[in-house]
Amino acid sequence: MASFAKSVQQPISHPVIALVAGEASGDTLGEGLIRSLKQRFPHATFIGVGGTKMIGQGLQSFFPMEKLSVMGIFEVLKHLPELLKLRSSLIQTLLALKPDVFIGIDAPDFNFKIERVLKSNGIKTIHYVGPSVWAWREKRLVKIKQCVDGVLVLFPFETPYYDKYQIPVKFVGHPLANEVPESPNLEQARVYFQLSVLKTVVGLLPGSRMSEIRLMTPVYLQAAKKLLEIMPDLHFLIPCVHQAAQLLIAEQVALLGLQKQITLVSGQAQKVMEASNFLIVTSGTATLEAALMKRPIIIAIKVHPFSYWLMKKLSTTQWIGLPNVLAQQSLIPEFIQEEATADKIALALGKLMADTKQQHKQLAAFDVQYHQLKQNASELAADAVVDWANLSQPLTH
């Protein structure tokens, strides 16, 4: 099995901190963590796998992060041989380089095996973003305990689960709460997109992975078309995570003849949320970001049927949207799998637009969640890494 050790471009200086992130949300977490660790250790070497944000902070990434961005059990199975090969090469590389600490950022199915092997070889291991043991398979914590020296969790309700299994844990809050303005400026965002403040704008967020985008875009666009039949002055914004997504979405917009009513945006999901009155959102982290941006939301999601069957069988929570889980109530309408139809989504959004009481209920809860999660996560995470990994002589900052 090939090693990536030769791809390290710069001379290695200690501490050597290895990080592996598997998708865009993990790249954001990793960026903040590296920035905070650099304040303590300006000469540290950062190696592993990350996206443009982590690389921008100095990470030497062994291969493109996108190779790990696979959603759903069926989709993972399809890419399994390549993923296993990459993981074996990573393990061999990290055992050879002997980093002072390894931090797996989310991607639990990929990272926990790496962490278990490294920990058994005397390398400190930390997992950033506790897997959803509160939602399904709590007993995983028995095995997780063998893999890690500590887990950083984003939500306060998670810590008791780890305490129960005597796993070192630290609630650090969610970095998104630090990135999102306390009072998002709709007017300023409208100027940016050259849209009238008087228009009602709906943000459509079909996801960050191509598998999500292929499944959700047709449904969202059909829902938009139905809403436009009743409210022809509506306008829709869709952030596109990359060019491939934009081409796919643009093609479907053109097929429905909605080019005038829908604006496609390169990236800038948060700016789209800021400019919108209402949001229809797919993925987990995006639902939280939408709540922190204090915009009324509808959640809709589809995955491969086998993935859905297995998740439903193992799930122990009644909600899929993080704002609902945090609130422990059905604040946001959720449309999952066969329920995620254009008719149901359009009807639900129409009702939400007309129901100011429900809008205010969502927004009041979102404000509470914003302050609950705003904890300077990257600094707290860095403190825990220094403590659990016994990194010596951290600099004051």
Domain boundaries, the chain: 5-173+375-388, 186-373
What are the start-end ranges of the E strands in 302-368? 334-336
pLDDT band at 347 (very low <50, low <70, confident <90, very high): very high
Q: How far apart are CA 280 and CA 212, in angstroms?
A: 14
The tokens of 90 are what? Answer: 């990573």
pLDDT over 50 (residue 361)? yes
What are the start-end ranges of the E strands in the chain? 16-21, 45-49, 60-61, 101-105, 124-128, 150-153, 169-171, 201-205, 235-240, 262-266, 278-281, 297-301, 334-336
pTM score, whole prediction: 0.73
- Closest by CA to 294, choosing from 217, 371, 231, 204, is 371
Strand, helix or coil for residue 262? strand
Could you report the per-residue pLDDT of 131-162, keeping only the tens digit for each? 877 656 677 899 999 999 999 999 988 999 99
Could you report the per-residue pLDDT of 58-116, keeping only the tens digit for each? 999 998 888 886 544 445 556 678 888 889 999 999 999 999 999 999 888 889 999 99
* CB-CB contact of 58 with 35 (8 Å): no
303/168: higher pLDDT: 168
**What's the rounded mean pLDDT across residues 355-365?**
96
Enter the CATH code of domain 5-173+375-388: 3.40.50.2000
Lowest mean pLDDT among 70-79, 133-142, 208-217, 311-320: 70-79
Q: What is the mean pLDDT of the chain?
A: 88
Angle at 343 (CA atoms; ends 342, 349), nearest 5 degrees:
85
Enter the CATH code of domain 186-373: 3.40.50.2000
**What's the rounded mean pLDDT across residues 172-189?**
90
Lowest mean pLDDT among 132-141, 265-274, 306-315, 352-361: 306-315
Angle at 270 (CA atoms; ends 269, 274), nearest 5 degrees:
120
pLDDT over 90 (residue 1)? no
Residue 317 pLDDT:
61
Q: Tell me, yes or no, if the two domains 5-173+375-388 and 186-373 fold the same way.
A: yes
